[in-house]
């Protein structure tokens, strides 16, 4: 498949990315809006969800990504593949995920994945990191009871920072997870595994 050329990183604090998306039109984007929903935050080219949607036709999959050309490309590919349980949205998850998810009923969001988000290594760039208090709050608010959040990264300090924010939430309970339980690996996960580097994972249940 051809790959669109995009900036490797964008600054989520730039005015262009501080926009408010339209609330998700769940009835329009999925053939059966009542299926359990899996949300992948920072879905990049969307290949993880593309394959998940193929192997799990009884779930809906929503990818959220800040780089718009990747969202357009991913939606074009899902249309070519005739997948009616998959959709991607252009959204700055740190600032406006709550607006996008506003229309979801309380029993639909079953799974949330946050996989290898940009670490923004330098201290002065820490504000650009994706997982913040408000993102955790939005995720937990919309997650249905027994819903799960799965997080993985290869960056140790970022793992501690993100896991710490989810551990602080009283509505979640951490469950031990030694490996990725999904049948598909993300592009980044495959690359890290190939280099034999460690991956830090955590899972939380509501
Ligand atoms: C390192 S990539 C990992 C992509 C994929 N999850 C994987 O594991 O292969 C992180 C992705 O998160 C996206 N991202 C970063 N900040 C974001 C934000 N505030 N909202 C939505 N997406 C964001 C980036 O554009 C990038 O595509």
pLDDT one-digit tens code per residue, 62-91: 999 999 999 999 999 999 999 999 999 999
Residue 46 pLDDT > 80: yes
Q: State mean pLDDT over 15-27.
A: 93
pTM over 0.85: yes
Work out the mean pLDDT of the chain and round it to a whole number.
95
- Residues of the chain with pLDDT > 90: what percent? 89
Which atom of ligand 1 lies at the shortest distance from residue 93's CA? 20
Q: Is the CB of 115 under 6 A from ligand 1?
A: yes
CA distances from 60 to 20, 110, 148 (A): 23, 10, 15
- The closest alpha carbon to 87, from 33, 141, 133, belongs to 33
pLDDT tens-place string over residues 97-156: 999 999 999 999 999 999 999 999 999 999 999 999 999 999 999 999 999 999 999 999
Q: Is the CB of 65 under 6 A from ligand 1?
A: yes
């Amino acid at each position: 498949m051809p790959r669109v050329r995009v900036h490797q990183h964008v600054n989520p604090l730039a005015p262009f990315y501080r926009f408010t998306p339209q609330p998700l039109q769940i009835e329009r984007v999925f053939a059966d809006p009542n299926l359990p929903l899996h949300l992948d935050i920072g879905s990049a080219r969307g290949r993880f969800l593309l394959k998940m949607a193929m192997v799990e036709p009884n779930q809906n999959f929503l990818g959220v990504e800040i780089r718009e050309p990747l969202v357009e490309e991913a939606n074009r590919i899902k249309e070519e593949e005739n997948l009616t349980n998959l959709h991607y949205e252009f959204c700055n998850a740190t600032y406006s995920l709550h607006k996008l998810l506003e229309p979801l009923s309380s029993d639909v969001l079953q799974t949330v994945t946050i996989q290898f988000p940009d670490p923004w290594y330098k201290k002065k760039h820490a504000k650009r990191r994706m997982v913040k208090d408000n993102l955790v709050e939005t995720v937990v608010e919309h997650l249905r009871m027994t819903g799960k959040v799965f997080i993985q990264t290869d960056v140790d300090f970022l793992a501690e920072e993100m896991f710490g924010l989810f551990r602080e939430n009283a509505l979640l309970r951490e469950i031990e997870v030694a490996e990725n339980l999904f049948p598909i690996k993300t592009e980044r996960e495959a690359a890290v595994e190939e280099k034999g580097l460690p991956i830090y994972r955590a899972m939380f249940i509501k």
